[in-house]
Structure formats: C-alpha cells, structure tokens
Amino acid sequence: MTIEVEQPSVELSKIAVSETHGEHSPYFAGWKAYDEDPYHESSNPSGVIQMGLAENQVSFDLLEEYLEHHPQEASWGKGASGFRENALFQDYHGLQSFRNAMASFMGQVRGERAKFNPDRVVLTAGATAANELLTFILANPGDALLVPTPYYPGFDRDLRWRTGVNIVPVHCDSSNNFQVTPKALDAAYSRAEAMNIKVKGLLITNPSNPLGATIQRSVLGDILDFVTRKNIHLVSDEIYSGSAFSSTEFVSIAEVLESRDYKDSERVHIVYSLSKDLGLPGFRVGTIYSYNDKVVTTARRMSSFTLISSQTQQLLASMLSDKSFTQNYIKTNRERLKKRYQAIIGGLRNAGIDCLEGNAGLFCWMNLSQLLEKPTRECELDLWNTILQEVKLNISPGSSCHCSEPGWFRVCFANMSEQTLEVALTRIHQFMEGRKTNGGNLNF
C-alpha cells in the first residue's frame, strides 16, 4: 500500500529554466503556423507557404546525379572493409580526406583568392555548434560579443544560452544599406564599457543574414582595423559564401588577411557549413577555421562534444574532392540562386514593394515600412501576423532579427519550387492590391 506524497519539485539548472533558447520568438511562431497548415501544390493549395526557412533546395539534382555515378566512393570508401574502418573512426581531427576536401572546397568558393590549410579545419556538428564552441573559447561568462544588426535570430541562443556570454548589438540602418561603420562599432563598444561589460570579440556574417548582401572590402578593412585597435577577436560566419550570386562580388576575410600578409591574423576565425551552400542541413557539417593555433587545438578538443558522423565525412570527402563536380556545382548553384532572386525581386516590385539591393543568400530583405500605421515593433508584428494568417505566408519580421528600423522582413526564396514561388508572389500581389482598394485601411 503506497501513500501519495507531495513530491518537492526538483530544480533544474538556471540555464534549463531560462528562456535564452529563444523559441518564443515570432521567428519560430511562424514555423509552427506552417507546421500546422503546410502548403502543398495539390493536397493543400491554400496552406501556409514557408518563406521563413533559409534552405537551399535549388541544386539537389546535381548532388543526386553525383551519387548516382559514384555509389562506391560515397558509401564506405573501400567497399565492405571500408565500413568497419569508417564506423570506428572517432578521432576528433576528422578524416584527413574530408578536411582536405573542405579546405579545397572553401578555396574554390572564394575563386582560389584564398587558400585554406586542412590542419586548421576543425569539424563540428553544424555551424550552430561552431558558433557556440568559439564563444566558449573566446569569452568568459558575462563577457560580450558585438554583433551588427540585423542578425540571424539563432545567435541569441547559439552565442548566449549555455555560454553565459552577452550580445551587444552594433546598430546599422537603411541610411547606408545597413552597412557596418566604424562609428557604429565604436558606439557599441562604448556602450558595453559603460555597462562594465568586457567585449571579447566581434561576430560578422558575410554574406549577411538577413540582408542577403556581401560586406564590401573596404568595410572589412575597417572591421579588421577596429578589432586590432581594441585587441579583440573577429569571427566571420561565411556560411553563405557559396551562395553569393557572383564569385567576384564576395570578399572573404581570408582574402583581406592575405593582402595584409596575415599580420595580426591570430584574432581571426572563420565559421563555415555545408547547410546552406550544399543544402545539407540534416548532415550537420560545420567547421571552424582559425588562424590561432591555441584556438585550433582547443576547438578540436571541444569538438568531442559535437563531432560529425564519420559516415557523413566519408560521403562528403568523396563528393567535395571531385573538383569537376564542385566547380560545376558552385557555378550552377550561383546562377540558379541569382535567377530566383531576380524572379522574386521583380515580382515584389510589380506589387509595389522594394527590397534592399542584395547579391547573395537564400532570401531578400523586404521593406514594408510604408504599410505600418506607426513605425513601431508592435505594428510590425501586427503586419507580420496579418501576412501569416491571411496571406498565408510565413516570413520573418525584422524585429526578430533585432533590426532597429521596424517594417523590414526577411523572405526566403530558395526552399521551394519555382511554381510555389509564383503562387507566393501572386498572393503578395493580391494582398497589396487589396490594400490599395481599401484606401490604405490598415485594419485588414
């Protein structure tokens, strides 16, 4: 016979009960709406179209074609005995062949304007893990990283949640196309100082998410000068480097370092992943490339918590070391993304909507500020909700990206078929027409 006893609720950690995981952001609320009512061409044509997920689905056929022609290499390498070796391989250095292939691929993506040493490539399960890991290495709890706004909402979790590190935003605005300026950097640094927070680094995303634009060489130079002056680290998240519409328009921090003879490069670290450029987010392939030996060693040790499956390393080692495949892939992927971009920009313009001039990424940065009753975050979220519930499009509100100017939205275009994109554009067009006939009545 048992007696019901009131159990004292057991405590979890502070990290566990905090909200820093960030899932209550509207960024994710829209995903839930999509999950509950997902668009499908035939079975659910009036469902929500997912335009809040930055995925690249435009070039899968190329990958599938590769696999069709190279089944052996892609699988276990040397056939039957290859499996065993592969399954046992847990060295945190990663498969040499894979590191070589990654280093070579990263060089190709940059038009060979920068070379990467395989021994500096550290592997992690996705860029999510890479960014968190770097933060653990570069900053102590309570310290801060400067991050230019608007930025990828996931950073709030990845950089802060378990590390206890803060993000101090570097405010950028549309007056100069949201570019980072030395003035904004200095202002952010001073703000941190005033709050008695120690700044340990600056994290930039280049090409930018959510802007969909590359950072200009001169700005990269300013950024390098700034971090050198303040003696802090620079993390350049180049996850969209292969998604720049033209190879020459993207300038990597690696190139700028090269032009400076790698002087002071020990403060620079690059994050990369195959989730966007190759469209393989499920495989969890991230890397940290650091010019700092101690960071490489430590990051490698820490990667024990987040290694890439050796099975996946094998597949990608084979794929990425096939130079003719990668050359063709990079070129074709760029062309298709550019075409998509032009299609969406054109469609939006026809609907009377302007976007920031972009040249990279899987999304465009759309300006709907003229539709806001008042230039506030609340009005932006109202508009966002309207678009979600009535136009049935999940797009991401700028405020979830910490944009200081209300009214901007990130719209993804590479995670759907061309037909679906057309349907989305038609809906937007209808929505804008509807607003005109209502005489600008914003209570839709």
**Any idea which residues carry the catalytic annotation?**
152, 237, 239, 276
Name which of 23 and 193 has its Cβ closer to another protein.
Answer: 23
Which listed residue (62, 74, 343, 351) binds another protein by CB under 8 A?
74
Asked if residues 59 and 433 have their Cβ atoms less than 8 Å apart, the reply is no
b (16+ CB within 10 A) / e for 27-45: bbbbbebbeeeebeeeeee
Site for another protein in 22-51 (CB under 8 A): 23
16 lies in the binding site for another protein (CB under 8 A): yes
310 lies in the binding site for another protein (CB under 8 A): yes
Asked if residues 185 and 170 have their Cβ atoms less than 8 Å apart, the reply is yes
Min. distance of Cβ 249 from another protein in angstroms?
Answer: 27
Site for another protein in 331-370 (CB under 8 A): none
Site for another protein in 254-293 (CB under 8 A): 266-267, 275, 279-285, 292-293
What does residue 374 show for φ and ψ, rounded to 5 degrees? -135, 145
Q: Reduced to 3 states, what is the DSSP secondary structure of residue 199?
A: strand
What letter would DSSP give residue 216?
P
Q: Which stretch binds another protein (CB under 8 A): 105-113, 140-148, 183-191, 403-411?
A: 140-148
Min. distance of Cβ 310 from another protein in angstroms?
Answer: 3
Name which of 308 and 353 has its Cβ closer to another protein.
Answer: 308
Site for another protein in 160-189 (CB under 8 A): 161-162
Tell which residue, 242, 210, 247, 229, has the closest CA to residue 410: 210
309 lies in the binding site for another protein (CB under 8 A): yes
Which listed residue (46, 246, 297, 342) binds another protein by CB under 8 A?
297
Please name the helix (run of DSSP H) or strand (run of DSSP E) that holds residue 31, with its range, or none.
helix 26-36
Min. distance of Cβ 232 from another protein in angstroms?
Answer: 9
Site for another protein in 387-406 (CB under 8 A): none
Asked if residues 277 and 333 have their Cβ atoms less than 8 Å apart, the reply is yes
- By rule CB under 8 A, what string of x and - marks binding of each residue 78-107 to another protein? --xx-xx-xxxxxx-x--------------
Site for another protein in 404-443 (CB under 8 A): none
Min. distance of Cβ 135 from another protein in angstroms?
Answer: 9
Min. distance of Cβ 283 from another protein in angstroms?
Answer: 5
Asked if residues 367 and 356 have their Cβ atoms less than 8 Å apart, the reply is yes
Q: Reduced to 3 states, what is the DSSP secondary structure of residue 47?
A: coil
Name which of 136 and 408 has its Cβ closer to another protein.
Answer: 136
Asked if residues 109 and 119 have their Cβ atoms less than 8 Å apart, the reply is no
Q: How many residues belong to the site for another protein (CB under 8 A)?
A: 88
Min. distance of Cβ 284 from another protein in angstroms?
Answer: 5
Beta strands in 95-223 (DSSP E): 121-124, 144-148, 166-170, 199-205
What is the C-alpha to C-alpha distance for residues 360 and 6, in angstroms, rounded to an integer?
Answer: 58
What is each CA distance from 29 to 55, 172, 352, 381, in whole angstroms?
Answer: 18, 26, 27, 11
Name which of 129 and 424 has its Cβ closer to another protein.
Answer: 129
What is the C-alpha to C-alpha distance for residues 221 and 429, in angstroms, rounded to an integer?
Answer: 41
137 lies in the binding site for another protein (CB under 8 A): yes
128 lies in the binding site for another protein (CB under 8 A): yes
Q: What's CA 76's distance to the chain center, in Å?
A: 30
76 lies in the binding site for another protein (CB under 8 A): yes
Min. distance of Cβ 34 from another protein in angstroms?
Answer: 13
Name which of 74 and 351 has its Cβ closer to another protein.
Answer: 74
Which listed residue (62, 63, 197, 343) binds another protein by CB under 8 A?
63
Q: In the block, which residue shows the tokens 């005033």?
A: 194
Token pair listed for 90: 């847990």
What is the C-alpha to C-alpha distance for residues 224 and 381, in angstroms, rounded to an integer?
Answer: 36
